[in-house]
Structure 1
């Protein structure tokens, strides 16, 4: 199967987005709760300082989805990381490199690798899966941000960094 590009990629992501009602007002955490309910399994958002080599990671255990995201960045960037990882969940991506046991050992040293059913970090995706997740995350962002709220989002980003 050829990787999706350009128009075909946007069409596939738009189809996923059509079936995804967004919470109003938009909140990335609320969207994750909604997807978790739809999947019938909990999703935990876990802020991590200084993730090595990645901004975010999705870990699917036998009982829950764990979304790790970089804590030490701006609010809009944190939300985009969460949406990117959520997009991997929505697109049902699987890892293509870095062994499951190795990723589990590095990220969750206290968790038995047998419990983790799949782990996805940005280093583990094919470039096609990365493009798909990034496109879907961007489309979610475009759909959730009404033109009139741009000033509010910029103000919130500045306030979050202690500039406000």
Structure 2
């Protein structure tokens, strides 16, 4: 899926596992030449996959629906950690970016829905049915 989104965007996507604060499980960063997805290396594998697909959703959907950063409140990412994680970026913009969590904006809800459906499909395709087949259309009932 990472390769498909990278091809669609016309540039490679690097997925890296790093130490994250407890309040952050992943983030993505788009640059001119390459996109990056960082996930918490201490999360369970399934959580890392879900976070990766969620961030891929941002690469696919953020341009279509502008996310709204909630007003007020504190960023779950401290200024100090923002400087360490993204030293070349404006620290205020980075910490504000992390305030758009908890699915308060339409784009966050859209990309989490995308991640949930995509992850569900990936799991279904890995699990063989009672005959040993992995069906592409496991979500469809007979005759549809």
Fold shared, TM-score > 0.5 on shorter chain: yes
Q: Deviations over 1:97-153 (max 9, x none)?
A: 47xxx79635222x3x38xxx999552355222111111101101222227728xxx
Calculate the TM-score normalised by the size of structure 1: 0.56
Count of matched residue pairs:
112
| CA distance in 1 between partners of 2:114 and 2:95 (Å) | 20
> Are residue 138 (structure 1) and residue 116 (structure 2) matched?
yes
> Are residue 65 (structure 1) and residue 65 (structure 2) matched?
no
> Are residue 149 (structure 1) and residue 119 (structure 2) matched?
no
Q: Deviations over 1:48-69 (max 9, x none)?
A: 1123521110111122111111
> Are residue 124 (structure 1) and residue 111 (structure 2) matched?
no
Structure with bigger RCO (C-alpha 8 Å, 6+ apart): 1
> Are residue 42 (structure 1) and residue 20 (structure 2) matched?
no
Residues 84 and 95 from structure 1, CA distance in 2 versus in 1: closer, same or farther, beyond 3 angstroms?
same
Calculate the TM-score normalised by the size of structure 2: 0.63
Residue of structure 2 in register with 1:77 after alignment: 47
Preserved contact between residue 59 and residue 67 of structure 1 (Cα < 8 Å): yes
SS in 1 for 2:23: coil
Quote the RMSD (CA, aligned, Å).
3.0
Q: Greater helix share, 1 or 2?
A: 1
